[in-house]
Amino acid sequence: MRYGSALREEVRSPGTTPLIGIYDMYSASVVARHYDGFFVSGFGFAASYYGLPDIGFIAWPDMVAFVERLRPAFPSHHLLVDIDDGYVDPEVACHVVQRLERIGASGVILEDQKRPRRCGHADGKQVLPLEEYLEKLNLVLGSRQDLVVVARTDATEEEDILRRAEALAETDADVVLVDGVRSVEWIRRIRKVVGDKPLLFNQIAGGKSPRLSLSELAELECQVAIYSTPCLFAAHAAIDAALTDLKQSDGRLPELAPSGGIGVRRSTELLEKNISRHHTVREPVSV
């Protein structure tokens, strides 16, 4: 299966491709019922795996192991993986990219932040000198075979944003991401400097970017939209509400709704679909 080619073809098709942020196997199982593309979100993984904020705690073997569990359970889904800054060292970045490609990732996002890194929608971000990042990016591009590579800048100064976006568009990266874009007007300005290169837009609840529909993003010529945290934040709210109700009912579980609430049967049915022998893998994409 040429997973990179499949995602590349999807990105080049009309409209905006949504990739939904997942944080564990269960959230991926639910998302798979609604969408055919996952974003392996650094924010969600740091929160679920470590219980820590997205400020650079992720160890690359943990992320690789997570993707290694995902691929057999979801053999035909797009998997775009957040690898932060490539885990600092360019050689490590290349090693991780090659490992991810071998186990079936569709693509990766490589950012230009320097340590200590921050969530893309947080204050206090710092970026590497452009030439240093481009050197790392080009090494990663040279180490992949079919994998999609998204070049991401976290620049915050207006002149630097446009300068870096233009430079990233001139590389062999497949897609450009400027994270933390604050307005539709800025999306238009970035779109102009990246030329024909596909553009990715990152939406996160409570973040710095405007809330836009897929139709609006298509009109702005954003070919990809990643939704980093809808599952994580929905789970947070639902768990909090369920435990509040349990406490108020003196520990009595609620009766399942006749229409089919989530209980052991529905949960098991969902998870049984992830057993690899039940999958029908789609034919490889010809390129």
Mean local confidence (pLDDT), 87-97: 96
Candidates 73, 127, 130; CA nearest to 103 is 73
Candidates 99, 92, 19; CA nearest to 67 is 99
Candidates 220, 221, 237; CA nearest to 229 is 237
What does pTM read for this prediction?
A: 0.92
Tokens of 286: 């010809």
Give the C-alpha separation, 278 to 281, whole Å.
10
Whether 50 contacts 43, CB under 8 Å: no
Pick one of 3.20.20.70, 1.20.1250.20, 3.40.50.1970, 3.20.20.60 as the CATH number of 3-278.
Answer: 3.20.20.60
Tokens of 235: 């789970």
> What tens digit of pLDDT does each residue of 211-265 get?
999 999 999 999 999 999 999 999 999 999 999 999 999 999 988 877 668 888 8
- Residue 281 predicted with pLDDT over 60: no
SS3 of the chain: CCHHHHHHHHHHCCCCEEEEEECCHHHHHHHCCCCCEEEECHHHHHHHHHCCCCCCCCCHHHHHHHHHHHHHHCCCCEEEEECCCCCCCHHHHHHHHHHHHHHCCCEEEEECECCCCCCCCCCCCCECCHHHHHHHHHHHHHHCCCCEEEEEECCCCHHHHHHHHHHHHCCCCCEEEECCCCCHHHHHHHHHHHCCCCEEEEECCCCCCCCCCHHHHHHCCCCEEEECCHHHHHHHHHHHHHHHHHHHCCCCCCCCCCCCCCCHHHHHHHHHCCCHHHCCCCCCCCC
Q: What percent of the chain has pLDDT over 70?
A: 94
* Domains of the chain, residue spans: 3-278
Whether 145 contacts 3, CB under 8 Å: no
Taking the CA atoms of 120, 101, 73 and 5 in sequence, report the sign of the dihedral they define.
positive
Whether 106 contacts 4, CB under 8 Å: yes
- Residue 285 predicted with pLDDT over 60: no
Tokens of 150: 């998204």
Whether 59 contacts 70, CB under 8 Å: no
pLDDT of 286? 36
Across all residues in the chain, what is the average pLDDT?
92
pLDDT of 120? 64
Mean local confidence (pLDDT), 161-170: 97
Strands 224-227 and 148-153: unpaired
> What tens digit of pLDDT does each residue of 108-122 get?
999 999 887 877 676
